[in-house]
Every structure is written in structure tokens, then in C-alpha cells.
Amino acid sequence: MKRLSDAASRLEGQPMFQILARAKELERSGKEVLHFELGDPDFNTPSHIVEGAYNALKNGETHYAPSNGILELRLAAAEVTQRSRGFKPELDQILVTPGANVQIYYAVACTANPGDEVIVPDPGFVSYFSILKLLNIGINRVPLHEENGFRIDPSEVEKRITGKTRMIIMNSPSNPTGAVMTEQEVKEMYEIAKRHDLFLLSDEIYARMIFKDANTNHYSPSRYDSCRERTIVVNGFSKSYAMTGWRLGVVTGPSDVISKMGLMLETTTSCVSPFIQRAGINALRNSQSTIDSMISEYRDRRDILVRGLNTLPGVKCNNPGGAFYAFPSVTGTGMSSNEFCEVMLNEAGVSLAPGPIFGDNGEGYVRMCYANSKENIQKAIGKMRDLLENNHKYTLGD
């Protein structure tokens, strides 16, 4: 008898954690490594948020909490949605979860059966692919093109819909490209989902992280159905509030879907720790000025990084409008994405993520998360330049 289940054999995890482990191993052997691989803010969580959890712990909020989330946090989330997306969801449309990643799993598991298909942007966030594989759901990839600023083309999406399609996943601003969709594109995505009666999972974890000079705003398809029919908004505190380690998210969707997702959470993890949720309430209810200043710092870093990357021989990078990722092409170096990342880690001490881990269309690119200081960004560019310019092995055409 096989020892492990078929589902276990389909588990892939998140390659990023494996890349980080390798970089840490090199560090332990005494090598200096500059980290650009993981999408984890380098800022600490703002202190007023930390105090929310601290005070709750001191006040004895160390017991089980309601499985769908503390009422005050769901109320605060509903008000934020009203301000940011123009509609106020009912409380039964809102679920508090341990981070945003699990929302994707719950949403797909509650709406699609094995053998169904989901449309996914490629390159895209690694969990879309690994969750669909685990659930035995077909992956229908929509290639994103550099020439189109890596924005998903709604007409390409519509072409891929089959009788088996249950859901479309969209993600703006995008991981790994930083691309931000226009209002028109978002509207078209919603219309396509409606026309074919599909769920639309809109991953908006980077919605706050849009740079004003990108001359765009964040547009959510949820404004067209108020998350009542088909739109499921994936969201959380990890990125914009610098809270990756807290594991806190809030998902909004149609009440029948949210109710089942809530039962799934109750079945598997019972509830989110109440003191963690108190931190979330403080995050939403207090001044957003520290968040705004983190975002403007990210914009300055993006400028330094993108400018620097475009001075490297064989490297070309467009200007991402949001999130905290740059997605340069490295084809001009003559190396594959994996070779480029290997060489940069081992010889320059710069840790990057190879494009192919984000999907079939990631070859030729690498992802750099600029959650790192301006000094380190400049240092990394310098090290990469030294390697590419001075080492004969790595010059174009050799």
C-alpha cells in the first residue's frame, strides 16, 4: 500500500521559502547575502498595531474567538470597504482568516470540484498554481506579456473559458510583476465573469501599495456586484501593514460562499487568535500615516532599483506601478532565469527569485522584492554590475 495519499503527492508548497533557506545556509557559512527573494516588508509592524495585541493579551483575550471573526474587526473591515470600494458588505459577507493565502484555498475548495478549471494569470502568485494542483483542479493559464506591461488582457481571458471553467483569478497590483490594471480592464474582467456566470477571485492584497505617479488607482471588480454574486476579494494585513508574521486577513464575498469558507476555517483551524484580531482593529481604526510613509519609501526604492537594473548589461526592466516587486528580463545576458539567480546568489551574494517559479511564462525573468534599504539596493546593483561587466563568462554573446 502507498504510504501517502494522492493529495500529499501533489503538494508543492511555496518555492520562495526553499530559496530563502538556501540563502540563509550561505549566510551561515559566512557569506554576506542581500535579500530580494521574499515578499516580506523590512519594516517592523507599526507600534500602535503591536499595542493592540499586547493590551488584548494583558486583558485576558487568550481564549477561543468566534470562528468567523471578532465583530469589531468585521465592522471595521466593512467600513474600510465602504471608503475604499464604494459599498458596504453585510457582516455575513466577511470572514477573518489566518493570512490571505488560505483564503484562496478555501474559496476554490468551496466553489470548484476536481476536474473543473480555473483561469490564472501566468506569471502569477505561486499559491494559485499549488492550491489548484492540490485540489486536482485544472489550471488554465493566461500568459502575461511584457509589451502589455504584464497587465492581463481580458480578451485573452475570455478565449480560454471552457464548459469546465468555474473561476477567474485576477491580481492587481500583481505578484510577481507589480502591474496595475486599468479601470477599463477591471470592468471588462467583471463583465466576462458575469457573461459566463463564473466566480471572480480578485486578489487585492497589494491594493494599498500603488504609487501615485503610476497615474492610476486601484480598481476592484467588487464595486460592480458589491461581492454579492460572484466577486471574492482576497485581502489581508501582511503586506501594506507590514504584518506577514501575524497571519491575519479578511476576505469578502457572496454570503453563501463565505458561510462555507467559514465552516472550512472552523473545521481546520477553529478561529483566528483574538489578540491578533485586536491588532487588526487597531490597524484599520487608527491613522494611516505610517502606512502611507512606508508606501512612499517603497516608491523611492523602486525608482532606484529600476533605474539601476536598466544600466546592467543584458537586463531590462519596466516600471511597475504597485506592490513591491520588479520583474526584469535577463534574456540579454544569455543566461536562463535559474542560471542568473544561481550566479547572482553564489558569486554576487544577491538572492533573487527565478521567474519560472511563477509559472510557465516566467522564463527569461527574475523577481526582485525591494523590501530592502536603498543602500542595499544600490549595493546589490553594484555587485550585479561587477559580475556582469567584468566576468567574461557572463557577457552577452560569449
Q: Which is nearer to ligand PLP, 165 or 172 (CB)?
A: 172
Between residue 15 and residue 44, which ones bind ligand PLP under the rule CB under 6 A?
A: 39
Strands (DSSP E) along 138-208, which ranges?
A: 138-143, 165-171, 199-203
- The CA distance from 203 to 3, in Å, is 36
CB of 116 or CB of 203, closer to ligand PLP: 203
Does 69 contact ligand PLP by CB under 6 A?
no
Q: Is 158 in the site for ligand PLP (CB under 6 A)?
A: no
Nearest to 237 by CA among 46, 99, 125: 99
Residue 109 burial (CB count, 10 A): 16
Phi, psi dihedral angles at 35 (to 5 degrees): -95, 120
Task: Report residue 330 as a C-alpha cell.
Answer: 535577463
Under rule CB under 6 A, residue 172 binds ligand PLP: no
Does the protein bind ligand PLP through residue 337 (CB under 6 A)?
no
Segment contacting ligand PLP by CB under 6 A, of 66-74, 94-102, 134-142, 366-374: 94-102
130 binds ligand PLP, rule: CB under 6 A: no
| CA gap 342, 22 in Å, rounded | 11
CA gap 272, 266 in Å, rounded: 10
Residue 46 DSSP code: P
Residue 393 Cβ vs ligand PLP, minimum distance, rounded to whole Å: 34
Cα–Cα distance, 393 to 236 (Å, whole number): 44
CA separation for the pair 120, 216 (Å, rounded): 23
Tell me if 99 contacts ligand PLP by CB under 6 A. yes
User: Which helix (H) or strand (E) element contains residue 386?
Assistant: helix 374-390
Residue 100 interacting with ligand PLP (CB under 6 A): yes
Is omega for the bond preceding 121 within 30 degrees of 0, making it cis? no
Q: Which stretch binds ligand PLP (CB under 6 A): 96-104, 217-225, 259-267, 369-377?
A: 96-104
Residue from 68, 111, 171, 277 binding ligand PLP (CB under 6 A): 171
Number of amino acids touching ligand PLP (CB under 6 A) = 13
Q: Give the nearer residue to ligand PLP in terms of CB position, either 96 or 388.
A: 96
Give the Cα separation of 358 and 80 in Å (integer): 31
Q: What are phi and psi of 86, to 5 degrees?
A: 80, 10
Interface with ligand PLP in residues 178-237 (CB under 6 A): 203, 205, 236
Residue with the shortest CB distance to ligand PLP = 99
Instruction: Between 131 and 381, name the residue whose CB sits nearer to ligand PLP.
Output: 131
Q: Which of 68, 165, 175, 337 binds ligand PLP (CB under 6 A)?
A: 175
**Is residue 69 within 8 Å of residue 95, measured between CB atoms?**
yes
Cell numbers that stand for 259 in this block: 458561510
Report the distance separating Cα 379 and Cα 36, nearest Å: 12
- 125 in contact with ligand PLP (CB under 6 A): yes
Of the candidate residues 244, 282, 337, 361, the single one contacting ligand PLP (CB under 6 A): 244
Q: Please say which residue, 178 or 254, places its beta carbon nearer to ligand PLP.
A: 178
Q: Whose Cβ is closer to ligand PLP: residue 302's or residue 349's?
A: 302
The residues binding ligand PLP (CB under 6 A) are 39, 99-101, 125, 171, 175, 203, 205, 236, 238, 244, 249
